[in-house]
A and B are shown apart, each in its own frame.
Chain A
Amino acid sequence: MLDNIRPALIITRRELRDQLRDWRIILPIMLLTLLFPFLANFTTQRVLGFVEKYGANIIAERFIPFLLMIVGFFPITISLVIALESFAGESERGSIEPLLSSPMTDTQLYLGKLLASLLFPLTAAYLGMIVYLIGIYRSTDWKAEPMFLILVFSLTAVQALVMVSGAVVISTQTTSVRAANLLASFIIIPVAILIQAESAMMLWADYQILWWAVLGLMILASLLIRMGISHFNREELLGREIDTLNLRWLWEVFRAEFVGQAQSVGEWYGREIPRTIRRMAIPIFWMTLLLITGTYMGAALANSINIIPGSLPIDNLRIIDTQVLDQFRQLGFFSTSGVLTAWWHNLRAVMIAVLLGSFTLGVAGALILMLPMIIIGFFAGLVSLTGFSTITVLTATLMPHGIFEIPALILAGACILQVGASLVTPYRKETIGESLMSSLADWAKITLALVAPLFLGAAILEVFISPLLMVRLLGI
């Protein structure tokens, strides 16, 4: 183990020495570490003085921890620049080739550079935070809770890790620092949004959510590191000569995967679709598990919020009669346009999910598709509190269209998970572009062949049959 890490540490040591000799890195870090905490300290005192005049002490209390997070965040932003320089810069200058020609493994090289990009800015961030904390303690006697300190220090570390691991993924897709800097907005913009959300939580003093943010960022960092290790390899680094977006080639990759070896539509349905389904067995399993978990989470949530059964309007279910069908009719049920509306609604949700899934390694897409099951679980949980038969209510509201809709949801979600998984662990050593196009082709194939028809079937049943069944089962 140590023998495997040692070569990585040789790289880390060299890069750290290089950073310490570069005034363009030293100067901003020194300023952010030593001057900015004093500035933040000064600002805090001024704000405290101002708000205390109006008795708004709570704002002052929230402002100190918020600035602690900001003092830590500024130095770690430099880790992004260092990472881009370390990965894309070395490729551009050609100094990476002697390293690639050495007996080091791709992973050792990756880890060495990752560590080197993190260590200096993170140390500077922690130093700055300590300087700020000492200053605040001396001027206001404010002391942070140990758990809060662990939270902010962890948050700073995982943010740096996400930025650096994201920068590596970007660097593997470019041949120059310039191109990498341009693509870095894919990291800067989400991180800026994240910091705003975290700031709101800090001012809200909702530290529980910030722990969830730490967990979420750790998962994201793990995925990005896995993705970086997959794509930071000799073949991809040296096989790429220029940064071009070859739309024709991308289309060819998509088409080849979409059509497969089929010669006719019948063959496509008969051979290609089952082959794709077989290949997606693992994502299908995971998506099924996620939907079951979502349902359970919804039910658990309903039980955890201590609702008084009598306060629920669920008792209205007891007065369902055939007049309800007229209300359904007014809402567009029992009509073709209603079928199209329901169908389009489901398809639109799947498209949004795949779009979000492409940018979030499948995570956001799968979460969106989990939402209906969480709501169903929540509803079932509420029903169980009222004394109704959960099975009867769920059958009345979900059947028979659920027989089509739930498998469609599983298949659509599995495709989206596959999009994310193919980026993190490319199939057959493909590039990111190839992996993305191949998995999008699979998504299109499954959506066209199965998901869309299943949703159409579900929409027909939902619009024409489900209301009748509901009245039959629940009606008086």
Chain B
Amino acid sequence: MIQTENLSKNFGDFLAVDGVNLEVKSGELLALLGPNGAGKTTTMRMLTSVLYPSAGWARVAGFDVVTQAQQVRSSVGILTEQHGLYGRMSAVEYLDFFGQIYRMHADVRCKRTNELLEQYGLAGDAKRKIGEYSKGMRQKLALARALYHNPPVLLMDEPTSAMDPESARLVRNAIHGLRSDNRAIIICTHNLAEAEELAGKIAIIHLGKIIIAGEVQELKNRLLGAPQFEVRLGVNATDLSDSLPDEVTLISQGQGWFQFRTNKPVETNPQVIQALVSKNIPVIGLAEIPRSLEKVYLQAVSTAQGNHNRIDLENTMTTGGESQHAG
């Protein structure tokens, strides 16, 4: 649905985006992460045919962003960082205005407006001036605008930036609801927890280059090592190294607990429990030690800043990682 190859953009001497390769299929949601000025917004604008690439190419919903710009714009819904609403209009007028721009028939516009306002809980305030809306309401209205023409591609730039936690939650829930088999979504965000919650894939962009990309769990494995688990025991076991399978690496242990690392938790975690039970060591619980996306991000950015070498994991964008869960 979204495909780019060597996508680059320069403004005069400044190279804002440098050879970005991305692929997002229908039903996927990619989070594009990166510090301020990394090139996220410029990439989004190129994918909307608002800015033209200086080099490389991109296809969105099957259309070329340069030669079929108008078709691209018709196929994309965009939620910009600044919601860009008109304060003196009501929500109904605003959505209807965009419906006209997208050449939708009056009956369809009326139906779609009511449907979206109802969906995002704005029906009760439909006739109020947008200038009187709260930040969360505005963002939801902007989201409704982006979805108004039911686009197969949705691009969202900082969808919850500067919002209070409650409003951000409302918008996040709305984004959750947008994932479908026939829609590809990219969100740009600084909020790593949000990216982890919403996105199946992430790509980190730094100084215009994609420094790492792939499925969240896979990237954690690559950058932070194999998943780590903690086992709580019913007794104080002292030497456990002989009791555990070979694929498991013991990291640390204390009274009534130990932590281990494994590359294949689906296979090894049941074996760990089996081994402990067979030795009459009661197991109270086994859980994965949470590893935040923040660690992945900081690790990737510091690596990039340290040696400016690209960690080329582009292939991971299309292959998909192995499903890994605690046993």
Binding site for B on A (CB under 8 A): 7, 10, 14, 17-18, 21-22, 93-105, 234-235, 238-239, 249
Contact = CB atoms under 8 A, between A and B. Distances in A.
A103 B88 contact: no
A97 B84 contact: yes
Given A18-B89, A234-B51, 5 more contacts: A95-B84, A101-B48, A101-B78, A103-B102, A249-B13
B82 interface: yes
A17 B97 CA distance: 12
B11 A22 contact: no
Contact of B84 (A93, A235, A238): A93
A238 B80 contact: no
A356 to B, nearest CB: 29
B12 interface: yes
B89 A249 contact: no
B76 to A, nearest CB: 7
B45 A98 contact: no
B102 A102 contact: yes
A93 B51 CA distance: 19
B98 A98 contact: yes
A418 B81 CA distance: 40
A10 B89 CA distance: 14
Nearest to A9: B100
A101 B85 CA distance: 14
Contact of B45 (A7, A95, A104, A238): A238
A26 to B, nearest CB: 12
A239 B89 contact: no
Contacts of B74: 103
Contacts of A96: 84
Contact of B82 (A21, A94, A105, A234): A94
Interface of B: 11-13, 45, 48-52, 70-71, 73-74, 76, 78, 80-86, 88-89, 93, 97-98, 100-103, 142, 145
A97 B80 contact: yes
> Which of A7, A22, A100, A104 has the largest number of chain B CB atoms within 10 A?
A100
A97 B98 CA distance: 12
Given A103-B70, A235-B51, A235-B52, A98 B145 contact: yes
Contacts, number: 71
A249 B84 CA distance: 32
A98 B51 contact: no
7 contacts: A94-B80, A94-B81, A94-B83, A98-B78, A98-B142, A234-B51, A238-B50
Main secondary structure of the interface of A (DSSP, over half): helix
> Which of B49, B85, B101, B142 has the largest number of chain A CB atoms within 10 A?
B101
A97 B51 contact: no
B13 A98 contact: no
A249 B11 CA distance: 12
Nearest to B99: A10
Contacts of B81: 94
B152 to A, nearest CB: 14
A235 B11 CA distance: 10
Contacts of A17: 89, 93
Nearest to B88: A21
B97 A10 contact: yes
A97 B70 contact: no
Contacts of A10: 97, 100-101
Contacts of B100: 10
Nearest to B71: A103
B80 A103 contact: no
Contacts of B83: 94
A249 B49 CA distance: 27
A239 B50 CA distance: 10
Nearest to A429: B52
A102 B82 contact: no
Nearest to B155: A101
Contacts of B78: 97-98, 101
Contacts of A234: 49-51
Contacts of B71: 103
Contact of B86 (A18, A102, A104, A238): A18
